[in-house]
Amino acid sequence: MKKVITYGTFDLLHYGHVNLLQRAKALGDYLIVAISTDEFNWNEKQKKCYFSYEERKRLVEAIRYVDLVIPEEAWDQKIQDVKEFKVDTFVIGDDWTGKFDFLKDYCEVVYLPRTPEISTTQIKAELGGKNK
């Protein structure tokens, strides 16, 4: 069984997220999604989410392409996750191109094109919110 992992905040879930998850799942048999916890988002990314970690986890778990959701609590947990879950492929949006090449020592690394016309940042801006 080929295992794939991806990471993200997945706040204000939208079809761009679903596109990413569908394409990630197509690269393997089992898709693991690591969702940034509220503490990690605030302390490391200075982002405040609209939905709590538990709400975002529940939403992502409901997507048929997703087999397992785990918490992302630190930037440096990726190597540990790849080893622990015996991951074959790490997938992330191409806005991160090159940033995770260090994982190539442990698994295949794939940068997928984002859905260009949609993002959570754009949604928040259009609704008058701020991405803090």
Q: What is the pLDDT of residues 57-115, one digit of tens each?
A: 999 999 999 999 999 999 999 999 999 999 999 999 999 999 999 999 999 999 999 87
Of the candidates 101, 77, 87, the one whose C-alpha atom is nearest the C-alpha of residue 27 is 87
Give the mean model confidence (pLDDT) for residues 20-42: 97
3-state SS string over the chain?
CCEEEEEECCCCCCHHHHHHHHHHHCCCCEEEEEEECHHHHHHHHCCCCCCCHHHHHHHHHCCCCCCEEEEECCHHHHHHHHHHCCCCEEEEEHHHCCCCHHHHHCCEEEEECCCCCCCHHHHHHHCCCCCC
Where residue 116 falls among pLDDT bands split at 50, 70, 90? low
Higher-pLDDT residue of 19, 130: 19
Residue 16 is predicted with a pLDDT of: 86
Of the candidates 83, 64, 80, 62, the one whose C-alpha atom is nearest the C-alpha of residue 72 is 80
| pTM for this model (two decimals) | 0.88
Where residue 132 falls among pLDDT bands split at 50, 70, 90? very low
Q: What is the mean pLDDT of the chain?
A: 91
Residue 34 is predicted with a pLDDT of: 98
Residues assigned a catalytic role:
45, 47
Is residue 117 pLDDT above 80, yes or no? no
